[in-house]
Amino acid sequence: MFFCAGRGTRMLELTQHQPKPMINVAGRPLIDHAVDAMGDIPRQFANLHYQPEILEKHLKLAGIEPIFETDLLETGGGLKHALPLLDRDAVFTMNTDAVWSGPAPAEFLRMHWNPNIMDGLLLLIPKANAVGHKGSGDFLRAIDGTLLRGAGDVYTGLQVIKTKYVAEIEQSHFSLNMAWETLLTRRTLYGAIYSGHWCDVGYPDAIPLAESMLEIHS
């Protein structure tokens, strides 16, 4: 599931007349970069809210099914709202405000997914390879791959998560952080370290950084 519902306010005038996933980076909309990163994962969906008509038309050309939200539900609420359509015990979710250079990200994550011990698996990247990211890091990763919150590696916005931990949350509007807290307590939230480069395209000045990264590492 691609997260496409937000208003993209950090993009300022770039999102006045279009949703953030339609902003061009290196001549292509951000959502196209996300679709490439997801690869051949079957049955792809995207949640829509802000100016949905533009994105809906584009997604249909890629065979991605839209899921409309009348209210902004945040990441966790958006995924919970979509679960009846997704109909899976575990799903990929991806933010759509980033570009990648390196191994196919979703396939890379799938190779590291072990449902026998994991309830969630986040794709992380070292801060040195996180272009344009302004934070101090999100998670510390233990030797066995389990995670703790802390200023360590950066969350790339791509994960696999078992859906029951989202479905059991009573609220309709919530962040996926709520589900992660349960998994952190259970010690079943794991991280895989991406071996390529990644750019956080969450603000206008990051666009040339992303384009430069793609040119250098393509």
Q: Please report the domains of the chain, with CATH numbers, ordered by start residue.
A: 2-217 (3.90.550.10)
Q: For the packed helices 52-61 and 30-38, what is the interaxial angle rounded to 10 degrees?
A: 40
Whole-number Å distance between alpha carbons of 156 and 145: 16
Phi, psi of 174 (to 5 degrees): -165, 160
Q: What's the Rg (C-alpha) of the chain? A: 16
Whole-number Å distance between alpha carbons of 138 and 123: 11
Whole-number Å distance between alpha carbons of 69 and 8: 16
Residue 59 identity (one-letter amino acid): L
Whole-number Å distance between alpha carbons of 69 and 85: 13
Q: Which residues pair with 153 in a beta bridge?
A: 139
> 142 CB contacts (<8 Å, ≥6 apart)?
148
pLDDT digits (tens, 9 = 90+) for 161-188: 999 999 999 999 999 999 999 999 999 9
203: tokens are 């603000």
pLDDT for the residue numbered 154: 98
pLDDT-flagged residues of the chain (< 70): none
Helix, strand, coil percentages, rounded to 5, for the chain: 35, 25, 35
Whole-number Å distance between alpha carbons of 41 and 48: 20
pLDDT for the residue numbered 217: 85
pLDDT for the residue numbered 67: 95
Global pTM reads: 0.96
Q: Which helix (H) or strand (E) is 194 found in, with range?
A: none
Long-range contacts of 169-173 (CB under 8 A, 24+ apart): 169/76, 169/80, 171/77, 172/73, 172/77, 172/80, 172/81, 173/71, 173/72, 173/73, 173/74, 173/77
